[in-house]
Structure 1
Amino acid sequence: MDARGQSAALAKGDLSAAELMEATLARIAAVNPRVNAVVSLRDGAELMAEAHAADAAPRAGWLHGIPIAIKDLANAAGLPTSRGSPLFAGEVAEADDIMVARLRAAGAIVIGKTNTPEFGLGSHTFNPVHGATRNPYDLTRSAGGSSGGAAAALATGMLAIADGSDMMGSLRNPAGWNNVYGMRPTWGTVPSEPMGDMYLHQLSTNGPMARTPGDLAALLDTMTGADPRQPLSAEGSKTLGGIDAAPERLRIGWLGDWGGAFPYAPGITEISEAALRQMEGMGHSVEALQAPFDAEAIWHAWTQLRSFAVAGSLGAIHGDPARRPFLKPAALWEIERGLAMSAREVQRASEIRSDWFRRTAQLFAQHDVLVLPSAQLWPFDVNWTYPEEIAGRAMDTYHRWMQVVVPAGLIGLPVVNLPIGFGAEGLPAGLQMIGPRGSDGLLLRLAQQWHERAAWPQARPAMRGE
């Protein structure tokens, strides 16, 4: 059942929260030891008691009695927030983050956390605290990241819905690699925490993951809403109510390999273009586009602003000689680049970002949706730190292999990952459906239309029958 199906059954009395919790814990016990997606799982007796209490209480919202595990970068009161780092392992959160509080207010029961890379850096979920999360379609492969634990838990039926966060594809890459839906919403509509700088670092956002677009929309509607303590937060439009209204003929722009800038593993282009042909069959028009902007300029702006942001968040740890040795090489690289950056370099990167946003305004005057693959290669060996080459082209940083997600993330555009099927080795792939700011509802309507034609998460669930 999807989360809305569970919610309806709970509301009618056809299903109890205790029955749902019992089934959830049984599924986790059956598959999580091999996948390692759910971490810091709470005591089963406590969770069953909380579920019985939910059965006896008035419904708080659509999530009443539904289990959820929170990505291990966000705080959930009473649970540890390790952030995948030995520096924070075992530290118990005293209060919920805004997003978690909103989920609880809607009735969700927080059962534990989902695994993430150390500090969320890198699209491959492994860390020295909880280990690696494995792809449930091939346990020798990566589940992606940084919301890899959430995506794998969804794909295996351990959770019906999940939260995630996305700076560099973290709601898109793992969704694509686990055959589920993930959404990076318009930046600012899902508020972060009102702490530290609230003006400069407009890169990361929280968002929803699910096995159906309807659940994605319902969870997004619960997460969104401006926080009066944050100057750049914005009200997001409610999306669930209109999701079944199929969009009229959309003009879809296929960005391909960005004029050769993005190397793709064999099969990525072919499966992407096959999905686009299906969209044409749904009544939409698809046009192959030339590279609309200098890819290296976008990459330069991204790496500068990302390192600037990481140095801002982790610089204090780096500055402490006792704690610095616990930072992984990728974190050290980001922090040291950011600390060495001049104000003019930051300004120049933001100017490039602004130029790219202005260019997208022209693109969206002619196209409703822009499309790119969700990843440039198939899920790789779980024992790798990161892929060092794609299609014979060397990767010069730990995250260059995810360059394809940067154009949307750099300027805060909404993106929905569509699961689009499986390659020759039986591994999943996805497409990024990118829209202008505020087009979250349109993207979800397109996702729903796609889902009605090709419900891949239901057609080929992970670890079927186990």
Structure 2
Amino acid sequence: MTMPDSQHTPFTGPELCRLEAHEVVTLLKKGEVSSRELLDAAFERIEAVRPSINATTVTCKERAYEAVDNLDDSENDNPGWLAGLPIGIKDLTPVAGVRTTFGTKGLADLVPKESDPLVERLEARGGIVVGKTNTPEFGAGGNTFNDVFGPTRNPWDTKLNAGGSSGGAAASLAAGETWLSHGSDHGGSLRTPAAFCGIVGLRPSPGRAGGASKDAGYFIEGVQGPMARSVRDCALFLDAMAGYEPRFPISFYAPETSFQSAVLRADGKLRIAFTSDLNGMSPVDMEVEEHLRAVLRLLEKNGATVEETCPELPDLERTYHTLRGMMWATMARRLDPKIRQHFKPTLAQNTQMGEALTMADVCDANLNRSTIYNNMVDLFGTFDVLALPTVGCMPHPQSEEWVREVGGQTLNFYMDWLRFAFLSTVTGLPAISVPVGLGPRGLPVGLQLIGKPRGEAGLLAAARAVEMAVGGPLGPIDPNVTHC
């Protein structure tokens, strides 16, 4: 396991882009740097690396500079006040006046008149939107490509998959385009790209940071969340996102103590439960497992207690796919057929599976998810977090839509290689992917931590303890261009 010195990581972008988000916000608050300077740096970097990674696919320069001129500091006492920091928004989430395609040809020219409520909150709290980050069609899949903008490539090796569906956000952060970037997650869409690109991705509790869609406000499986290059920055972004929003029926109030405060109290004396394969459900390549076990031994040297254990997870995979099918069937219910006709085969298959579900399938899923949740709560009576791989393999070539073999097992469905993501989604428990150094072939590896119910504060503190133990965070890098 290695962790490069951030001062010697090849990075030729503006020096401001090398800083962490919380450092830049401090400079903004002191008046030692201006939002315009940051926008200049961000747009310069986006243009420089766009040809090699294609992460930020739509920029909105005029809107961004105008937003700086109209910055309202009425919420500057909020712990999530961003003070004019440029941020990216995933192309599944509407931003008023900015082209928002959802990665599908049927909406390629959509320019929404209204922003998603979470975008409104982030802008009210001092975030300046620089543009939209790339996503697979409607966010379906762990590989970011679509027929509108093409593929996003991994900055660590541009012939490789950057992960999905928040692949544009993760690649953008890794290459230093922005300091914070918004993502969303159902089947690991925040976590997989975070692991592949060496950044931090947090899937919050449902309702913590808005919802996946106003039109499907009661669904709790798809959530929005923060992505950043460090755990402390991720906490800052979650503070900016958190709070009650009446337009999302599952929304709830932010805690009285900020998430950043919790991170600053990080303690290495963690009680960690570890599973390498979710009771045999999810295969893992040996190179990933060996790296993570070395990290866990390092954590033990730093005061953690690690025990290999996993609760019973009855029918977890089938339960996840039922819940996922319900989401896709609901999404397609009122969708214009002219849009649906462009669906890629895997997305069409997902939707058809959802429409074929029976009431018995739905009942079983609801019963099983409650059992799994209760078993996880019992686990947390002894442990602080459950640790597991974020994803069972290192990044494969971007040209492979999905991974067909992991741990010597042949996989038959395009979600099979993402099974480590299912547990958090089914139970509604917060989960985070944190970089734990460079592993095979000099590529980053992510460790996933699942936390207690609505336990983002403790989860972020645990992630920070891991980050400190491995010498992180990773800094931004120049793309390693191995594919043109």
Q: Shorter chain as normaliser: what TM range? A: over 0.9
Task: Kindly report which structure 2 residues correspond to 1:364-443, keeping only aligned pairs within 5 A, or say none.
Answer: 364-443=380-459
| Equivalent residue number for residue 37 of structure 2 | 19
Contact 1:155/1:457 (8 A) holds in 2: no
- Correspondence for 2:374 among 358, 365, 369: 358
| Equivalent residue number for residue 347 of structure 2 | 331
1:181/1:233 Cα in 2 relative to 1: closer, same or farther (>3 Å)? same
Q: Structure 1: how far apart are the matches of 2:75 and 2:254? A: 22
SS of structure 1 residue aligned to 2:328: helix
Offset at residue 248 of structure 1 (A): 6.5
Q: Structure 2: how far apart are the matches of 1:260 and 1:448? A: 28
Q: Structure 2: how far apart are the matches of 1:464 and 1:227? A: 38
**Residue type of the alignment partner of 1:123:** G
Aligned residues: CA RMSD: 2.1
TM-score by length of 2: 0.90
Offset at residue 50 of structure 1 (A): 4.6
Q: Structure 1: how far apart are the matches of 2:394 and 2:477? A: 16
| Equivalent residue number for residue 330 of structure 2 | 312
| Equivalent residue number for residue 477 of structure 2 | 462
Structure 2 residue runs of 5 or longer lacking an equivalent are 1-18
Question: Which one is further off, 233-242 or 100-109?
Answer: 233-242
Q: Cα deviations across residues 86-123 of structure 1 (Å, max 9, x unaligned)?
A: 01111001111111011100111111100011000101
Task: Kindly report which structure 2 residues correspond to 1:68-83, keeping only aligned pairs within 5 A, or say none.
Answer: 68-83=87-102
SS of structure 1 residue aligned to 2:105: coil
Q: Structure 2: how far apart are the matches of 1:324 and 1:193? A: 19
Q: Structure 2: how far apart are the matches of 1:465 and 1:108? A: 30
Contact 1:247/1:442 (8 A) holds in 2: no
Pair 1:346-2:365 in alignment: no
- Correspondence for 2:211 among 192, 205, 209: 192
SS of structure 2 residue aligned to 1:371: strand
Q: Cα deviations across residues 276-325 of structure 1 (Å, max 9, x unaligned)?
A: 11211221100011x42246x100011111011111012333x73x4433
| Equivalent residue number for residue 36 of structure 1 | 54
| Equivalent residue number for residue 16 of structure 2 | none
Contact 2:165/2:189 (8 A) holds in 1: yes
Offset at residue 48 of structure 1 (A): 4.3
- Correspondence for 1:273 among 293, 301, 315: 293
Pair 1:136-2:155 in alignment: yes
**Residue type of the alignment partner of 2:38:** L
Give the paired residue count.
457
| Equivalent residue number for residue 5 of structure 2 | none
| Equivalent residue number for residue 217 of structure 1 | 235
1:195/1:246 Cα in 2 relative to 1: closer, same or farther (>3 Å)? closer
TM-score by length of 1: 0.93
| Equivalent residue number for residue 12 of structure 2 | none
Pair 1:108-2:123 in alignment: no
Pair 1:88-2:107 in alignment: yes
Structure 1 residue runs of 5 or longer lacking an equivalent are none
Q: Structure 2: how far apart are the matches of 1:154 and 1:383? A: 22
Q: Structure 2: how far apart are the matches of 1:326 and 1:211? A: 35
Percent identity over the alignment is: 35
**Residue type of the alignment partner of 1:179:** G
Q: Structure 2: how far apart are the matches of 1:453 and 1:376? A: 22
| Equivalent residue number for residue 241 of structure 1 | 261
1:248/1:27 Cα in 2 relative to 1: closer, same or farther (>3 Å)? closer
Offset at residue 202 of structure 1 (A): 1.8
- Correspondence for 1:260 among 280, 291, 300: 280
Q: Which structure has more RCO (C-alpha within 8 Å, separation ≥ 6)? A: 2
